[in-house]
Structure 1
Amino acid sequence: MPEKSLDRPQQRPGQDKATNAAEAGMTSLFRDDTYFQSIIDTVPDAMIVIDETGFMIAFSPAAEKMFGYLAGELIGENVNTLMPSPDHERHDGYLRRYRETGNAQIIGKGRVTTARRRDGTTFPIDLSIGEAEVDGIRIFTGIIRDLTERHERTRRLHVLQSELAHVARISQMGTLATSLAHELNQPLAAITNYVETASAVLAQQGVGEHSTVREALSLCADEVERAGDIIRHLREFIKHGETTRVRATLGTIIDESIALALADGAGRGIATAVRLDEAAEDVLVDRIQIQQVLVNLLRNATEAMSETRSKAIEVVTRAIDGKMSEIIVADTGPGLEPRIARRLFQPFETTKPTGMGLGLSICHTIVVGHGGRIWAEPSPIGGTAFHFTLPHFDDTKVET
């Protein structure tokens, strides 16, 4: 398609010279209007302006990227160039019927439809159309959002949620197993003592070594010892479980974590601010595990602020001594209860009626496993601030 001058669209069949001149002036006005041009150049969604007969008089850079055409190639062309059948053939009729009846089908309402790129491929779009009159000429402005990108973002969010849920389940199982192992060691030790005491009493009473009672006690002692071995092996397995740690960017991890934590309306009414220290950006971590830490802290923050009027979360990073990165998640909630604060990272401690009390314990396990530490302080913005540290990525020493 030959490139046209931006301010001299070609005269179309059935268009008189006066109308052609008027629309040429309109296109020139758009080109020369600095304010309008700044909007066209910066609006993130594709923006197309047409006249009342369907011919394009403005085509934004975002539209160029979306459709694969340059603005100069389409100015003066019918907008149905960007439409697949049947809209391609019917669009002129839609506009003519609107001019004659004033009955708007899409204008001011919007709809989901399909569009056609330069290479002929089609894709789903969300189309919103507004109407205005400039210098006596009726124009229509279309704002177009590519639903393919939205669907891809949604798919990516679901993938992240699935990955996070998988790691969360594994982490909960590990923390639960470790806690149970610790708690079961005490009753097992007590059972062993009782068995040994009972055997000693029977020996003092002259009960034979091969009597049924003493044999049963001996078998009981063997089973207790076996149970203890199973627990010790389980704790060692969990303790030495290996993860793959790679170079990651904190800014990306934080952005994804906020999207995950505040999805499904959880972040409604909450102001979120992120302040990143470039010197703290590169870390050596298991990305999914650190996302889990951040998502847990962010969700705790949103739940803590459920009854507060001011709802804000601030995530801050900063470098420490060139070796560690510190991440701070602060909220405007009511702060920590003293009873909880004392046992903050121990399992089964929770203020939630349906919670297991494993979230912060898992955060502690993950952060310590990365060679960092985690703690809580009063928040400078009014509630609680959780701090944790992670190792910098070192180009000269990459660990896995």
Structure 2
Amino acid sequence: MEQARLLKAIIETAIDGIITIDNRGRIESLNPAALRLFGYSLEEVEGRNISVLMPEPDRSGHDGYISRYQTTGEKRIIGKGREVKGLRKDGTTFPFRLAVSEVQYENRIIYTGFIHDLSREKEAEERLREYAAELEELVEERTKSLKKTVRALSEAKEEVSLSLEKEKELNQLKSRFVSMASHEFRTPLSSVQLSASLIDKYAEPYDNKNIRKHVSKIKNAVGNLTTILNDFLSLERLEAGRVEPTFTAFDLVKLAEEITEEMQMIAKQDQNIIYQHTGLQSMVLLDPNLLKNCMINLISNAIKYSGENTFIEFNTEINDQQCIVTIKDNGIGIPESDHKYLFQPFFRAHNTGNIPGTGLGLNIVQRYASLMKGDLYFESRIDTGTKFVLSFHK
């Protein structure tokens, strides 16, 4: 008797609905949660066919379903169940997850249904889809606007470089662009990136592939725009002579390990960055910010131009004469005919296709290395890979 009272208390206080029917589909009992979900009292539905709680077409096909269940031996066990719709007394419908089990009770068979209301989950999923769509549209608008500005700047550069007078006009245009980019793009891009990350976090419980796909597209678009913006800002500062290296003693190995961890987070699937240091020393006298920018730029290129399931070798070496940084990939490589143009601003190799980029990164790396009295050289073969080496004399 004690167990019976405990079982009854559990059923009566359960959050999910519990319903039992006989082998002819007639309702025998509903717990309070189920009655609230469907809007009936027990007296109103007891003894009626279970189809009264179903909208079409499930209502018409339910008797056939029970028949198939009984004749074919198909068994529904308690578990994840299946998603169906319920019909309330007021005529409205709602989604729920239904799990059914067969119970042997007093020499007869009854069926127990466990009902988990999905209304809130569905509403939340719809809100997330709408929000993701709004953010994607916003990013597309910002992307078009920024690309239009970048194209205008590139076209302007070609025209004004014909004379010193036009060169002056170009510098003025670039200054206006930098000012505009700093204020008009950085803040909204940061907001979009933060919102996309929050959507990704809030959507984790629903495990929705479409939400993850669109959030990933938003993040990638924002990342590309941020890279473009940073490249143009760096180029402007270099050409304006506003970049002066600050030589500081720092631990190269510690910096390289931090960069490796940071870049591994944005690497492609099963793409691994392998870091190794050679030498007993780890301290160097260089500008840590400029060197970090160089290493991140070169590793980003290795990630971008290599495929999934590949290795990127990242090595540092300190000996008596030099400090050497090497980044090697086994990606698409650089056509030999493009080698001599590779460090020119806005130049991109002819085999990059639709891979995004500004053509400014390597020019910036070379100029940063030069400011630190260093050199940058590379080796590359098409479809084999590329190795970039930064070297600094002590």
TM-score class, shorter? 0.3 to 0.5
- TM-score computed with the length of structure 2 as normaliser: 0.42
- TM-score computed with the length of structure 1 as normaliser: 0.42
Higher share in helix? 2
